[in-house]
């Protein structure tokens, strides 16, 4: 069942498959709501008043929706969030859902080397060459790709990518990383939905009582012109486009080109590094 078809205010999952609620895809939201016992657990976690008799599926969904709206418009940890965001965060934080397939899927994390491999593959679709940021004096940016071997070609495009497999590392490195986001045409942070969700949790718990802000990561990245790549099981989603800098420092373009001097053998070295 697609719950938005019940007319209860849940966002259509089929209208835009790229839409995300706190970095969780719409299909995953349907999967959560269809998990046996999930609606009862959500109702309890959200503090839905117990009904005098066993509610129907539609009645329970409507009660959850009304409660989520109330939490969104009153002083609460979920103030200002959408119904879908409140449901996702409630289930993600609750131990009641730890054994569900939905939560295992949302928490799925590739190994660091697998994350780097996926990001490198994404970058190679846009660049002829890839060098390590460390070799260019930018160690916080592990991957820097260039579209052309010649730095002054009109089609030259330098893209920097920084993958993160851990939300605490993302929180610790984000500010200095953004401060260095000025040497390429485009800069991207890459992580899984689980890492992004974990970052939201870390930020929420910086205040007491906690206060969830579903856009805190995107606001910070957007302010620095940095984009966000979501690494999902079926590929990389461009969640937040980076701001294009048409005039990055020229020495960096030359430096990237110089790293490829030596022909195809050296290019393969950086492709495979």
Q: What is the DSSP string of 4-41?
A: GGGTSSPPPSSS-TT--BTTB-HHHHHHHHHSTTHHHH
**92: which strand partners?**
none
Rounded Cα distance between 262 and 8, Å, is 63
pLDDT given for residue 272 in this prediction = 42
Q: pTM for the whole thing?
A: 0.84
Secondary structure class of 163 (helix, strand, coil): strand
Higher pLDDT, 10 or 178: 178
Q: Evaluate if residue 3 carries a pLDDT over 90.
A: no
pLDDT given for residue 268 in this prediction = 40
On average, the pLDDT of the chain sits at 84
Rounded Cα distance between 260 and 147, Å, is 12
- Out of 98-112, 217-231, 259-273, the most confident range is 217-231
Rounded Cα distance between 148 and 64, Å, is 54
List the single range of 94-108, 131-145, 172-186, 240-254 with lowest mean pLDDT: 240-254
Rounded Cα distance between 157 and 264, Å, is 20
pLDDT given for residue 197 in this prediction = 96
Per-residue pLDDT reduced to its tens digit, 12-59: 444 456 678 999 988 888 889 889 999 999 999 999 987 767 788 888
Q: Evaluate if residue 80 carries a pLDDT over 90.
A: yes
Higher pLDDT, 209 or 267: 209
pLDDT given for residue 94 in this prediction = 95
């Amino acid at each position: 069942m697609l719950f938005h078809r019940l007319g209860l205010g849940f966002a259509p999952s089929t209208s835009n498959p790229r839409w995300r609620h706190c970095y969780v895809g719409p299909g995953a939201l349907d999967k959560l709501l269809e998990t046996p016992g999930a609606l009862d657990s959500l109702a309890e976690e959200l503090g839905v008043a117990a009904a005098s008799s066993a509610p129907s599926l539609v009645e329970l969904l409507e009660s959850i929706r009304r409660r989520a709206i109330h939490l969104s418009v009153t002083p609460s940890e979920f103030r200002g969030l959408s119904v879908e965001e409140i449901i996702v965060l409630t289930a993600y934080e609750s131990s009641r859902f730890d054994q569900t397939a939905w939560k295992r899927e949302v928490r799925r994390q590739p190994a660091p080397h697998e994350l780097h491999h996926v990001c490198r593959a994404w970058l190679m679709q846009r660049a002829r060459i890839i060098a390590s940021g460390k070799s260019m004096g930018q160690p916080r940016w592990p991957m820097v790709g260039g579209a052309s071997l010649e730095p002054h070609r009109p089609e030259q495009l330098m893209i920097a990518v920084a993958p993160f497999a851990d939300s605490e590392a993302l929180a610790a490195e984000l500010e200095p990383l953004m401060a260095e986001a000025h040497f390429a045409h485009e800069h991207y942070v890459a992580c899984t939905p689980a890492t992004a969700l974990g970052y939201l949790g870390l930020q929420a718990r910086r205040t007491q009582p906690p206060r969830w802000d579903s856009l805190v990561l995107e606001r910070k990245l957007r302010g620095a012109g940095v984009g966000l790549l979501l690494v999902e099981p079926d590929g990389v989603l461009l969640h937040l486009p980076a701001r294009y800098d048409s005039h990055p420092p020229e020495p960096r373009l030359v430096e990237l080109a110089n790293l490829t001097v030596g022909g195809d053998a050296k290019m393969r070295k950086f492709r495979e590094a």
